[in-house]
Amino acid sequence: MFYMQNKNNNLPESYILKSVNNVVGLYKNEQLIKVYENISVNTLPLTDKDNLLSGIKLNSLDDVTAIIEDLDG
């Protein structure tokens, strides 16, 4: 699998989608970089809620986009 390299420390970049104040937040290398205020976590199916509470780990922005599209319906 291909990973984008982080220029600062040569570790692969990682993304996590996680519930933040009942909306979806995107973290890159453990820093919050975007909040999707249009996706309310409490309206999602239980499985999605549980996954977002624990964090959905992703390897690329393409993967992030695909999950956001699924969550946004």
In this prediction, residue 11 carries a pLDDT of 58
With tokens 């999950």, the residue in question is 67
- 56 pLDDT more than 80: yes
Whether 27 contacts 15, CB under 8 Å: yes
**Mean pLDDT across 14-23:** 96
Predicted confidence band at 19 (pLDDT cuts at 50, 70, 90)? very high
Whether 30 contacts 18, CB under 8 Å: no
Predicted confidence band at 30 (pLDDT cuts at 50, 70, 90)? confident
- 21 pLDDT more than 80: yes
Give the domain ranges of the chain.
40-73
